[in-house]
Amino acid sequence: MTPRVVPIKPCAPDVSSEKTTFRVRRRHLKIVLPIAVLCAVVAVAVFAPALAPFDPTSQHLSLRLRPPSWIKGGDPRFLLGTDHLGRDILSRLYYGARVSLPIALAATTTGALIGITLGLLSGYFRGVVDSIVTKLIDIQLSFPFILFAIAVIAISGPKLYMLVLVLAARSWTTFARVVRGETFVIGGNDYVVAARALGASQPRVIFRHILPNILPLAVVIGTLDIGALIILESTLSFLGLGVQPPTVSWGRELSEARQYIQLAWWTTTFPGLALLVVVLFVNLLGDGLRDILDPRLRAR
């Protein structure tokens, strides 16, 4: 008797797997452009002394308020024109990046350390600790930030480290509230309960089982917070409470040029565009990291 041969049908491609791979690649591609732009800005800030055609503080009073080089009346030596003191705007933009980005990064890091620590303690121990941290958050959020900054800087003086601390005081509450809520949720998970039942110490439970699950979310919050702090630093510099001359800051540039906005539009346009580009791509990077690191979004 001849055995019957049954043809084997080819396996259909796993459509769901292909779709998942496509979504993962698309989410990773979302952060490529923001990373490239921000790396370029950081490179410009680092190599500003080599890239800037002029000293940012050098004045050419006979060439004040010259338009960009491509406009009639412009000087080819000054690509983006000059300000009211004849200083090269392009050089000042390069040096301004050396101030705004480090201040925002330092303030975000300081605020993250304070906020994550207090959020972990509040969410894990609860009770009196949670009440104290919650009251501190409520007090901080109820006080207008600009008035708080004016009061602190008026007392201490416009020092750079004080500006970082003031911005960190604005930043830590966001980290603390989010980390506190996540610690409540993670603290009730089975693996945390099991770790406690096996005799793990409280520091081990916090730093080994809770903190690693919170860090991705903290990275996303910090990335988005950098953009907000760059705007706040520029606001304080615009009001004269931030970086002081002769140090260059984009916010200070806008403040000095505001009275020439109708006579020389380029003096305010280019510092404003620099702020717009940096904050926009920082926020785009934060959105992309959220899509990659947030497990609830990865499951979709």
CATH of the domain at 161: 1.10.3720.10
216, burial (CB in 10 Å: exposed 0-12, middle 13-18, buried 19+): middle
Average pLDDT over residues 238-247: 82
What's residue 4's pLDDT? Answer: 58
User: In the structure encoding, which two tokens stand for residue 257, read together?
Assistant: 């040029």
What's residue 247's pLDDT? Answer: 84
Q: Tokens 């809770």 label which residue? A: 210
The answer to the question of residue 256 being in a domain is yes
Which position has the higher pLDDT, 27 or 163?
A: 163
Mean pLDDT lowest among 5-19, 112-126, 150-164: 5-19
The pTM (predicted TM-score) of the whole model is: 0.82
Residues 6+ apart with CB under 8 A from 7: none
Residues 6+ apart with CB under 8 A from 195: 204, 205, 208, 209
- pLDDT band at residue 40, thresholds of 50, 70 and 90? very high
The answer to the question of residue 107 being in a domain is yes
Q: How far is CA 38 from CA 43, 69, 168, 227, 257, in A?
A: 8, 26, 22, 12, 26
The answer to the question of residue 125 being in a domain is yes
Q: Residue 86 sits in which domain range? A: 49-298
User: In the structure encoding, which two tokens stand for residue 239, read together?
Assistant: 């009001």
Does residue 218 have a pLDDT over 60?
Answer: yes
Does residue 61 have a pLDDT over 70?
Answer: yes
Report d(CA 31, CA 17) in Å as an integer.
22
What's residue 2's pLDDT? Answer: 53
CA–centroid distance for 178 within its chain? 17
The answer to the question of residue 193 being in a domain is yes
What's residue 114's pLDDT? Answer: 93
Q: Tokens 């200083």 label which residue? A: 87
83-129 confidence digits (pLDDT tens): 988 999 999 999 999 888 889 999 999 999 999 999 999 988 888 99
- pLDDT band at residue 300, thresholds of 50, 70 and 90? low
- pLDDT band at residue 135, thresholds of 50, 70 and 90? very high
The answer to the question of residue 275 being in a domain is yes
Does residue 243 have a pLDDT over 70?
Answer: yes
Average pLDDT over residues 224-230: 88
The answer to the question of residue 18 being in a domain is no
Average pLDDT over residues 159-175: 89
Average pLDDT over residues 279-297: 80
User: In the structure encoding, which two tokens stand for residue 207, read together?
Assistant: 């730093």
CB 133 within 8 A of CB 176: yes
What's residue 116's pLDDT? Answer: 93
Q: What is the mean pLDDT of the chain?
A: 84
Residues 6+ apart with CB under 8 A from 36: none
Mean pLDDT lowest among 27-31, 120-124, 132-136: 27-31
- pLDDT band at residue 3, thresholds of 50, 70 and 90? low
Domain count, the chain: 1
What's residue 118's pLDDT? Answer: 93
Number of neighbours of residue 103 by Cβ within 10 angstroms = 24
The answer to the question of residue 291 being in a domain is yes
